[in-house]
Amino acid sequence: MYHNILVPISFDAERDTSAPLKLAQKLATPDAQITLLHVIEHVPSYAISYISADYLAEARQAIEAELQELADQVPNGRAVVIEGHSGRSILDWANTNKPDLIIIASHRPGMQDLLLGSTASQVVRHAHCAVHVVR
């Protein structure tokens, strides 16, 4: 049983957020803290001039609201939204906040993942705690 669980959440269409959340609840102690973390990727500098500041603020608010809705469904759940590169930012957050388990969803790897690496594989390779990958 785990006391401090991190569940990175991706809102990509092909990602299922329910499986990692169900697993977190099964593996958590009754008083465990379950943190749902979403990383907003930085907009590349060549594209930022085409996006209004209002749009970026509204998008962040929508993400925060959706993540909070998910966190409200989990006992002792909390929502955290940060900015950065997904894999590195998840690892940095984990190094600072010391979860004893990370539960991360992953898609079936393809050729591009073998060449570029995925967020889940980066977290698995570099996390300093247990990592459970859900497909």
At 116 the pLDDT is 41
Domain spans in the chain, listed from the N-terminal domain onward = 2-77+87-134
Average pLDDT, the chain: 91
- Examine the pLDDT at 1 and tell me if it is beyond 80: yes
pLDDT grade for 110, boundaries at 50, 70 and 90: low
CATH class held by domain 2-77+87-134: alpha beta
At 114 the pLDDT is 55
pLDDT grade for 115, boundaries at 50, 70 and 90: very low
Write the pLDDT tens digit of every residue in 60-84. 999 999 999 999 999 999 999 999 9
At 23 the pLDDT is 97
State the average pLDDT over residues 79-105: 97
**Residues 107/135, Cβ–Cβ less than 8 Å:** yes
pLDDT grade for 99, boundaries at 50, 70 and 90: very high
What b-and-e string marks burial along 11-43, b requiring 16 or more CB atoms within 10 Å of the CB?
Answer: eeeeeebeebbebbbebbeeebbbbbbbbbeee
Write the pLDDT tens digit of every residue in 14-41. 777 899 999 999 999 999 999 999 999 9
Single-letter code of the amino acid located at 69? E
Cβ atoms within 10 Å of 95's Cβ, excluding its own: 13
Does the global pTM surpass 0.85?
Answer: yes
